[in-house]
Amino acid sequence: MRYFLLTAASALALTAVAIAPASYAQTGETATQAKEDINSQLSAFFKDYDDQELAHSFMSKAYRGIRDADYGKWDDPSDAAEVAQYERGQMARAQMEKEFSKDQLSEASQLSYRLFQARAERSSNAFPFRHNAYIFDQMNGAQSQIPAFMINIHQVSNKTEAEAYVSRLDAAGPLIESLVVQSAERADDGIIVPDWVFPYVIADAKNVISGAPFGEGDDSPIFADLKKKVMALDISDAEKSELVAGGTAALNNSLKPAYEKLIVEMERQQAKAVEGDGIWRFKDGAAYYAERLNNYTTTDLTADEIHQIGLENVERIHGLMRKIMTDVGFDGDLQDFFQHLRTGDEFYYDTREAYLADVDSKLAAMTAKLPEFFNTLPKAPLIIKPVEAFREKSAGKAFYNSPAADGSRPGTYYVNLYNLRSMSKNELEALAFHEGLPGHHLQRTIQTELGDLPPFRRFGGWTAYTEGWGLYSEELGKDMGFYEDPYSDFGRLGMELWRACRLVVDTGIHHKRWSREEAIQYLTDNTPNPEGDIRKAIERYVVYPGQATAYMIGKLKIIELRGRAQEALGDKFTMGEFHDVILKSGPVPLDIMEERVNAWIASSS
């Protein structure tokens, strides 16, 4: 299992469930009534699917804000559980195809039918490679995801939920130990991270079990979170003390020994790590990488084709950058300008507070502008939050968590301020628009709030769609009148260039057998990003093969489709209607997105 924890998209994005035996397709009604009923029956099928799959995923429940008798449990991380999950998905697809005729469904239901099939197909393609994923690396793994989940997802509003918090802490030890065993087995079979990954994982693990109650010093992050949530409850002091004591025992007797075993295993694996950063070194590495590219881009593009698209877009964006460089009167070549942007103090913040204040200002201005470009707007609020100290050294520069469907948790834009020299002022606008508005927060909140869609569409995802939208939103900001400072506009181009370079370096690492150092040098030569930003990015692409290619491939498709619609519709084209076509389906593969836009153009002409 790639992760034992769920990202904001939830594990239900990748799986399906076998519905309890029943016949959803009925007979005997009039044709009109039968058609209405079959759509209702398909909706019931998807609802049953979701209910039954939720019964296997306690973490999905927590992400959605569901707090029931399973609130204190973790998901089963075993291979047997993953096999069962896969089999449920394939059985559900077969049952749907047996009991429902797609031709008898409404247009909306036909789309759900096709997406359910596509999800099952994606799962089938990925299943043979399930043991190729790293269990622990600097981007993913229980060493950082357990405390992040407890702090950010496990909400506590009463004593029962606090008891569930303690139960989860107590159960975390056996969970980690199970994952350590799996990691050891994979490492012994050649699925082992490069040697430079291990210090990150070990440092994160040590950070979690440093401080009280594990030893001297300030409260550890997870212990501080437990105490904060318990102390806020309207219960007696004796009850609070009992809960904190229970958490202390769970941390010391379950969590700490498990983390210590994890550290020992990581040290063992580090001693046997082999050379080579890409997954080409796996026995089935070429096939695995082809599957990853198909999974993330939702296309049949080969690694060589993606590499070439990257090179062409790098050249295009460099041309636009040279124009801005000339406009601001810089004397030198593009590499000189890159170095100027990396080293100039005026391009970086002195304090975290100053950075966050500017993010608030830019997003407030964007919020006021949204109604001019969008017919549908998100209801859930957005908050901006620095990445927690225990994981900020290894975490990415920015990411987003979706709001809970029940409104109990806002959408959250996390920004990593560990090293302010990796967070250029020039990129602030584009980054905020990508992660916040009109990017991930707008798209994923609207998706969650599409109450008429089946749950698997409201809570699932396709990376090329979601990240393509995020990157598209950066350029959309310029259409909306932002990036008035030429340096900020250069930062926007820098962010787009970054995603174009990803096509080159991701395929370079995993297909062309580039080393980490070669990939770092390519970004150093071709982007204005600082050294720390470059190194962290390449290290991400090494352990997350294929994912980084989804951004540019998705964005290019959205831009292509918008241009097609503008040319075909002329004065009839509106941004609000186009964005509704993209957003109100929820995430879809790029070929289905194209079908929907083409149909809208035809119906609007």
Decide: pTM greater than 0.85: yes
Measured between alpha carbons, how far is 130 from 79 in angstroms, rounded to an integer? Answer: 9
The pLDDT tens digits for 323-379 are: 999 999 999 999 999 999 999 999 999 999 999 999 999 999 999 999 999 999 999
Q: Where are the alpha helices (DSSP H) in 395-530?
A: 428-435, 440-448, 455-459, 463-479, 486-510, 516-526
Find the helix packing angle between 159-188 and 221-231, rounded to 10°: 160
Calculate ∠ Cα 223-177-186, nearest 5°: 130
Q: What value does the mean pLDDT of the chain take?
A: 93
Collect all residues with Cβ–Cβ distance below 8 Å to 332 and sequence separation of at least 6.
Answer: 340
DSSP code of residue 255: I
What is the Cα–Cα distance from 26 to 42, expressed in whole angstroms? 11
**Residue 534 near residue 520, CB atoms below 8 Å:** yes
Q: How far apart are CA 156 and CA 141, in angstroms?
A: 24
Residue 133: partners with Cβ closer than 8 Å, 6 or more residues away = 1, 2, 191
Q: Name the nearest CA neighbour of 97 among 117, 112, 122, 115.
A: 117
Backbone angles phi, psi at 281, to 5 degrees: -80, -10
Q: CB–CB of 541/523 below 8 Å?
A: no
pLDDT tens digits, one per residue of 137-194: 998 899 999 999 999 999 999 999 999 999 999 999 999 999 999 999 999 999 999 9
| Res 71 pLDDT > 80 | yes
Of 485, 482, 489, which Cα lies nearest the Cα of 373?
Answer: 482
Q: For residue 531, what are the contacts with CB-CB under 8 A and spacing of at least 6?
A: 342, 524
Cβ–Cβ < 8 Å for 412, 391: no
Question: Which residues have C-beta within 8 Å of that of residue 604, sequence separation ≥ 6?
Answer: 569, 572, 577
pLDDT digits (tens, 9 = 90+) for 7-46: 333 333 333 333 443 445 444 455 566 666 999 999 999 9
pLDDT mean over 183-206 = 96
Query: Mean pLDDT across the stretch 466-477?
Result: 98
State the Cα–Cα distance between residues 437 and 415, nearest whole angstrom: 14
- Distance CA(84)–CA(224), nearest Å, equals 37
Measure the CA–CA gap between 417 and 373, rounded to whole angstroms.
31
pLDDT digits (tens, 9 = 90+) for 219-271: 999 999 999 999 999 999 999 999 999 999 999 999 999 999 999 999 999 99
User: How large is the average pLDDT for residues 565-571?
Assistant: 98
- Looking from the CA of 555 toward its CB, the CA atoms found within 13 Å total 24
Report d(CA 536, CA 517) in Å as an integer: 12
Nearest residue to 133 via CA among 5, 7, 2:
2
